[in-house]
Structure 1
Amino acid sequence: MSEARDIALVDELRALPEETSWVEFKNNNTDPDVIGKRCSALSNSARIEGRDCAYVLWGINDSSHDIVGTDFNPDAKKANGQVLQLWLANCLQPSIAFSFRVVNHPQGRVVLLEIPAATGTPVAFNSISFIRIGSATPKLTDFPERYQQLIERMQPYRWEQLIARQYATGDDVLALLDYSQYFRLTKQPLPDNRAGIFDRLEADRLIVRDVGERWNITNLGAILFATRLSDFEASLARKGVRFVAYGGNNRAAAVTYRHDGQKGYAAGFEGLVGYLNDLLPKNEHIGAALREAHPLFPELAIRELVANALIHQDMTVTGAGPQIELFNDRIEITNPGRSLVKLDRMIDLPPRSRNEALASLMRRMGMCEEQGSGLDKVFTAVEVFQLPPPLLRADENSMQVVLYAPRSFAEMTQDERVRACYFHAVLKFLSGDKMKNASLCARLGIDPKNAAQATGVINKALNAGLIRIADPDHPRAGYVPHWA
């Protein structure tokens, strides 16, 4: 934390007309119990007021807000034989990440206590939650309407709202973020002045106001529109998309291409998808007069699966980001974090995203399909191309989708045939229809004269419990997914 910012913060807080429910000024009152109660009360009140932090400042007159200086030394202060900060951490539930900072202001020594606003649960001191009302610090439970207001305003943890770059100048913001791409992708005219640019970026929470006429760039702003992700902390820079192409069917093969994404997801998305499509193998077909090259994988599927990997990753997993690996016979797209939806229900159930603001803005910019329709279109495109069914797999720390190059029915494994049958039944059900032997023949490229092959696949899917007969009294009516 820079001293210049702390000085600007002190001056901004002093400029308030009076103490608020989230700011308190003190001369030298350093009673530990008073500080503990204030931490609880100010943290809870800050959340009600929509503030990210609350503050206590020592060395400032609470009437005039003049700096009078203080000899309070939080590092030397003891409480019940313990260092004050350790004692406070043990007495506050949950243990919030407060911080004491000495500010050497030009007008005198100030001690600043920064207290994060309550998030998941009200902050309590010695098991009692307090609230700030005027200059009083009563128990939160004595004011049920404020307790209810606090519960309603507490938001779950959102990685997108955290700060990627603090106390940035306007010039820094314009250099660090590709703001022209933001206006182009959101289809807004580029304002002819800086204030208009900052107003729009702030409206979408890409930046938030800091003190001293500076700005904070949020994680959302950086991950979407960074000119260079490497300009930010390593933990964020590592979330750039990594692409590796191999000259064979496994990772032991020689690497033929490697690309580590440097731009934010939105700023670099079109370039990334174009780069992938240029590298993907193509099949040649003889048209009416000319040879025509068609991509081996549906472009829509690639685009949607890459966007899904960006949107649904767990941003809190450190040292990892989305990865795309291209082999001769498949493409694997991996993102950090286990899926929040069961793998066999990812087509029909609405998606659950850890990053709602990121997902919403990417959809607004047309980088992926409307909510809940993207994977439907991926699996539909796979059927149109008569590819083997995608493989969805997850472990404790990652989610992966594998898209396979074309293979005939004879070349597919038994598991792939059964998986294709299940997903075909799902797509039919979602369109208001039922899977039948004839439709599965078309899906798998089976000659209708060999319909018994499709019947064998259906029987295996029935035995695996993946599908069921739609109407037991009329077996010819078709099949639906097991959950339908």
Structure 2
Amino acid sequence: MAELERLLKEPEGENLEFKKAANKFGTDELTKYCVALANEGGGRIVFGVTDRRPRKVTATTAFAQPEEVRKTVLDRLKIPIHFDVIEHPDGRVVVFTVASRPTGVLLQYDGQFWDRQGDALVGMELTSGRAREITAELGADFSASVVDRLTIADLDPQAIENFQNEWIEFTGKEGLRSLTAEQVLRDVEAVTDEGVTYAGLILFGKRAAIRKHLAQSEIVFEYRSSEAAGPAAQRENLTDAFFNLHDRIWELVNLRNDQQPYQDELAIRNVPTFDERAVREGVLNAVCHRHYQMAGNIFLRQYPDQLVIESPGGFLPEITPENILNRQSPRNRRVAEILQLCGLVERSGQGVDLMYERSIRQSKPHPDFSGSDENTVVLRLSGRMLDPSFVRFLGTYVPAKLDELGTDDWLALSQIAGEQTLSSSLQQRVDNLLSRGLIERIGGGRFILPRIYYQFHGRESTYNRLREREQLKERVEEILEGFRLDGRLIGDIHEEMPTLERKTLRRLLQELQDEERVHSEGENRWTRYFPGPTSQEGE
């Protein structure tokens, strides 16, 4: 009651809002106000009071079940929210208290980053000065900041030794073996002159220190036989230095890692449901990019044919599920740099590209981030092999040659294998795939896999049908190849292909010109055709 009396005298501002709400107030509207208050550092919204001074308690019947409303808003925003119901002499008052947003995180709801301007709620633009101030808070790497009252004695010697061994194995520098534990920690900047950093705690901390200073860095593994609600068949809470547990995580996944067989001539070969490199990259991605100042753990939920990894914090504003392959913005740079030193994290980015490559090579669905929102990044790795013939087709190539392909090459190959129209952003990868014999033209700017894939698939007749027109065009190119200076008239070409109707030959020549594989000079009956996209005169 005393606190309410004090609030009644306070000016309404960025951290305080009053609403009469005599009868009702929508939960969606309340959520927006909570977002706006949290974005300004937290505050209170008071219902049942006039908004102008001198304020009066007018009473409210809104929020008859405030605990249910609080739970709904809490589930939406994932930040602490509390309520008080005060029976004032003049009537019932309900007060919701909202915590601040996490450092560097701009909260949103219903597609808007809500802010308050006077009595109104407005959507904040990401380009606004205030939004830039908030997102810039992450410019100071949290993982590089020092943990108060944490010492080297709070770090686990076994975790340090594990890292040191992996560092030596990755670099081949045996001289690193002579370093003391403290020298190792200082060389990788897990420890500075100011003290032990959060990166040091996350990667090397003893269990007791982690529980005391950063309990939310725990990783929770669950195995579930289905997505039905209920207790997990197996659950393990992993609270330890990451360099003590990253192999354990793979061991847990691999316990139930079924093999998917496929026929390769007389041999039976297998593809594991869960690929080790893809799983490890997914875990590393979560450890490097989660928001450690937000409550909540990293969750790994394994099902018979998929693995779901959830990490707190959501994407940074400039990252989306659509551009995650091309944009990198590390949230915990010091953690990522230490993991890079021993080869666990690729220096080029987030390892998302490797997850895509591994899924395509094993003919599995692409990594799926579509379940993510502003509070949580959700990565779904499906283990189901879609097309054994594609895996068998790749097996006919030297593995080292396939390793030379870039991520865009794999994405283009995936679209072509799915008989999709190649997206414009991947068109530039066509020449590389053609030169390696991984794809063939079928005209009209379309491509297919080579004959052997269709043989494995039992669809050779489909290949012949798709390739028939392209083979005619290749024959025209072959005829023109010996006449780069003089070219050939359509009648000359027809003499070499007498079974082809002349009107069909004209269409083929037009298509070849459209594809810039042939060019012409002259008009009408005197038109001469030359190989290549442009005239060779003067060369």
TM-score using structure 2 length: 0.45
The AA in structure 2 aligned to 1:197 is: A
Deviations 1:327-355 (A, max 9, x none): 123211121122232222222x1421111
Q: Pick from 224, 235, 251 the counterpart of residue 258 of structure 1.
A: 235
Q: Which residue of 2 aligns with 1:303?
A: 280
Q: Could you list the runs of 5+ residues in structure 2 that have no partner in the other structure?
A: 1-103, 105-136, 169-173, 388-413, 434-438, 440-445, 467-511, 518-539
SS in 2 for 1:242: strand
How big is the shift at 1:208? 3.0
Deviations 1:379-424 (A, max 9, x none): 1221121112222122010111111232547xxxxxx999975999
Q: 1:424 to 1:251 in 2, by over 3 A?
A: farther
Give me the whole-angstrom Cα distance separating, in 1, the residues matched to 2:422 and 2:354.
Answer: 12
Q: Pick from 199, 213, 220 the counterpart of residue 183 of structure 2.
A: 199
Residue 267 (structure 1) aligned with residue 241 (structure 2): no
Give me the whole-angstrom Cα distance separating, in 1, the residues matched to 2:304 and 2:513.
Answer: 44
Aligned partners of 2:218 and 2:237 also within 8 Å: yes
Give me the whole-angstrom Cα distance separating, in 1, the residues matched to 2:516 and 2:384.
Answer: 32
Task: Note the 1:273-352 alignment, pairs <5 A.
Answer: 273-284=250-261, 294-316=271-293, 318-340=294-316, 341-347=319-325, 349-352=326-329
Aligned partners of 1:240 and 1:264 also within 8 Å: no
Q: 1:192 to 1:329 in 2, by over 3 A?
A: closer
Give me the whole-angstrom Cα distance separating, in 1, the residues matched to 2:421 and 2:320.
Answer: 15
Give me the whole-angstrom Cα distance separating, in 1, the residues matched to 2:143 and 2:450.
Answer: 43
Q: 1:246 to 1:303 in 2, by over 3 A?
A: same
Q: Pick from 347, 367, 377 the counterpart of residue 354 of structure 2.
A: 377
SS in 1 for 2:322: helix
Give me the whole-angstrom Cα distance separating, in 2, the residues matched to 1:186 and 1:322.
Answer: 25
Give me the whole-angstrom Cα distance separating, in 2, the residues matched to 1:406 and 1:428.
Answer: 28
Give me the whole-angstrom Cα distance separating, in 1, the residues matched to 2:243 and 2:422.
Answer: 31
Task: Note the 1:54-65 alignment, pairs <5 A.
Answer: none
Q: 1:324 to 1:289 in 2, by over 3 A?
A: same
Residue 161 (structure 1) aligned with residue 137 (structure 2): no
How big is the shift at 1:197? 2.9
SS in 2 for 1:360: helix
Q: Pick from 427, 438, 442 the counterpart of residue 448 of structure 2.
A: 438
SS in 2 for 1:369: coil
Q: 1:391 to 1:192 in 2, by over 3 A?
A: closer
Deviations 1:41-84 (A, max 9, x none): xxxxxxxxxxxxxxxxxxxxxxxxxxxxxxxxxxxxxxxxxxxx
Q: 1:447 to 1:329 in 2, by over 3 A?
A: farther
Q: 1:425 to 1:241 in 2, by over 3 A?
A: farther
Task: Note the 1:51-450 alignment, pairs <5 A.
Answer: 156-164=139-147, 166=149, 168=151, 172-173=153-154, 175=156, 178-187=159-168, 196-209=180-193, 216-228=195-207, 230-234=208-212, 236-248=214-226, 250-252=227-229, 254-284=231-261, 294-316=271-293, 318-340=294-316, 341-347=319-325, 349-372=326-349, 374-393=351-370, 394-406=372-384, 408=386, 433=432, 436-439=446-449, 447=459, 449=461
Give me the whole-angstrom Cα distance separating, in 2, the residues matched to 1:356 and 1:184.
Answer: 22
How big is the shift at 1:280? 2.4
Give me the whole-angstrom Cα distance separating, in 2, the residues matched to 1:344 and 1:433.
Answer: 24
Aligned partners of 1:244 and 1:326 also within 8 Å: yes
How big is the shift at 1:429? 5.0
Q: 1:332 to 1:191 in 2, by over 3 A?
A: closer
The AA in structure 2 aligned to 1:204 is: V
Q: Which has the larger radius of gyration?
A: 2
Give me the whole-angstrom Cα distance separating, in 2, the residues matched to 1:167 and 1:367.
Answer: 26
The AA in structure 2 aligned to 1:474 is: E
How big is the shift at 1:185? 2.4
Give me the whole-angstrom Cα distance separating, in 2, the residues matched to 1:315 and 1:431.
Answer: 42
How big is the shift at 1:191? 6.5
SS in 1 for 2:217: coil
Give me the whole-angstrom Cα distance separating, in 2, the residues matched to 1:313 and 1:226.
Answer: 18
Identity %: 17
Give me the whole-angstrom Cα distance separating, in 1, the residues matched to 2:513 and 2:219.
Answer: 49
SS in 2 for 1:346: coil
Give me the whole-angstrom Cα distance separating, in 1, the residues matched to 2:330 and 2:431.
Answer: 27
Aligned partners of 1:303 and 1:368 also within 8 Å: no
Q: 1:431 to 1:224 in 2, by over 3 A?
A: farther
SS in 1 for 2:255: helix
Q: 1:242 to 1:426 in 2, by over 3 A?
A: farther
SS in 2 for 1:324: strand
Aligned partners of 1:240 and 1:322 also within 8 Å: yes
Give me the whole-angstrom Cα distance separating, in 2, the residues matched to 1:379 and 1:472.
Answer: 36
Give me the whole-angstrom Cα distance separating, in 1, the residues matched to 2:516 and 2:463.
Answer: 16
Aligned partners of 1:175 and 1:227 also within 8 Å: yes
Q: Which residue of 2 aligns with 1:16?
A: none
How big is the shift at 1:311? 1.0
TM-score using structure 1 length: 0.50
Please report the RMSD computed on the Cα atoms of aligned residues, expressed in angstroms.
Answer: 4.5
Q: 1:285 to 1:360 in 2, by over 3 A?
A: same
SS in 2 for 1:315: coil
Aligned partners of 1:235 and 1:319 also within 8 Å: no
Query: What is the total number of aligned residue pairs between the two structures?
Result: 293
SS in 2 for 1:371: coil
How big is the shift at 1:178? 2.8
